[in-house]
Structure 1
């Protein structure tokens, strides 16, 4: 008896199980990194198997769109080997190709997921099911973060160990702060859309605000503030906005001057603001890496590297140039031409044609964050959440709330 394999069934399987399994393996990774470090890299095995399955789907059900993608990937892959071999054997920088390739693959993991599943993402009935799974994962993780805050559970701290472990922040089972920022903002934007445009889930939206606040992450707090301003500007008249901003300014000034507990809560940020300045605090010290890593590294570059890339992230003793400022790292890795080509590929495929202003706002927030934070383009945790959330956020909104 022959078993007929259907593309749609495989794609639905990848997304429905992947949204949950992705979260579970990362949770196991985080717990193991604290209590059993030898098993803390197990998520790599899961993602390798997932990527292989995506490649199988792309090859088995190949079409013009997928052929175009494969040719684009092969072009970037060829440039990757040329630029790194050039660095190693012509420029004389000691790079390790396996580590370099793992980093290269992080940029394209999201594309393999997308091109294996893009057809079901375009169907509203399936997309609703996927987004419901994502919201359940988001809310479950948020409750873990809340429990972690109430009971001081180490595994749910945003920085469980190290010199920054004393800072405020709880992210549940998300493996790192940068990854948590993306995850929490995706959840916040999805639940906001449900509340505002679909008239449902106001209580969930309030919970999402609490969960986001608990992370204590600058990027998440900035995203919350921008969402607040977006909501005001798109729902309230100018006259009322002036009154609200005046009241808010007075309130924030009062809290800052007369509420030392607020300063204590975010003492980590206030300390660096006072001692190192706003830019250092805002970028988490990444601005200093431009002088210490990037500029010395660029001295070894020539025209080939500027055009097609050649970033060394594999050897910290030999001008490691990773800054975790996504836009800078992207152009260091791909060069000027390929950096622009990668961004165009990401825009046309992952972001796609923007269908509503709220989605445009959401994309703008993530682009802004990519200028001073890392792991958006090279995230290993969030690609499956990004393609599902972006598809949902880009759906035409059912209605627009008029300004009052």
Structure 2
């Protein structure tokens, strides 16, 4: 637990800290009836926060400065909201046609907002977004609550980052992690 907290602080991104916090909340809720596990989770969180409090203070000073100068939304989204309103929105409104709405806009890289949902729509169009939804639905049917949590957390984290679902590497790793976390019942290992 402490190792996970340490690594998310070393990575130093809001997404890593957000996902780690969400992970600890999930573990706490999932283990409310298991006192020993709950105490370990709580103890790990407290020790990690105490040990790394100076690092956290230095990390959040940067975002607090953005907050004071440009507001909460700019601080939270690292100016991605400006990319959305200044790049993506004008491009979509000026080049609006049914083909692009269905299949995506051709100059995706030049106008993306780095907020994954909007970029996904810009890149793939409505048909691509529906395909992704169906893909995730198929992956999650009958899966463990840990897998559902992982996918849900990643969907929330896409607000803070770009290239998460468009990256083939990320999608393959997520699919393999889902398979690993939910092995087939009739699968027999030779090991």
Q: TM-score, normalization: structure 1?
A: 0.38
Q: Distance in 1 between matches of 2:107 and 2:91?
A: 8
Over the residues paired in the alignment, what is the CA RMSD in angstroms? 2.8
Contact 1:355 1:395 in 2 (8 A): no
- Mapping of residues 285-324 of structure 1, within 5 Å: 285-298=79-92, 299-314=94-109, 320-324=110-114
Deviation at 1:385, TM superposition (A): 2.9
What SS is found at the alignment partner of 2:89?
Answer: helix
Q: Distance in 2 between matches of 1:370 and 1:265?
A: 21
Deviation at 1:370, TM superposition (A): 1.7
Equivalent position of 1:280 in the other structure: 74
Deviation at 1:326, TM superposition (A): 1.0
Deviation at 1:379, TM superposition (A): 2.3
Structure with bigger RCO (C-alpha 8 Å, 6+ apart): 1
Equivalent position of 1:335 in the other structure: 125
Larger CA deviation: 356-365 vs 370-379: 370-379
Q: Cα deviation per residue 1:207-258 (whole Å; 9 max; x = unaligned)?
A: 2321122111111111111111111112226xxx9xxx9xx9xxx9xx9xxx
Matched, 1:355 2:143: yes
Q: Distance in 2 between matches of 1:232 and 1:373?
A: 26
Match of 2:179 among 373, 391, 396: 391
Contact 2:104 2:121 in 1 (8 A): yes
Greater C-alpha Rg: 1
Runs (4+) off by over 4 Å: 259-262
Q: Distance in 1 between matches of 2:86 and 2:104?
A: 19
Contact 1:263 1:270 in 2 (8 A): no
Q: TM-score, normalization: structure 2?
A: 0.75
Structure 1: runs of 5+ lacking an equivalent: 1-204, 315-319, 397-404
Classify 1:307/1:388 alpha carbon distance in 2 versus 1 (closer, same or farther; 3 Å). Answer: closer
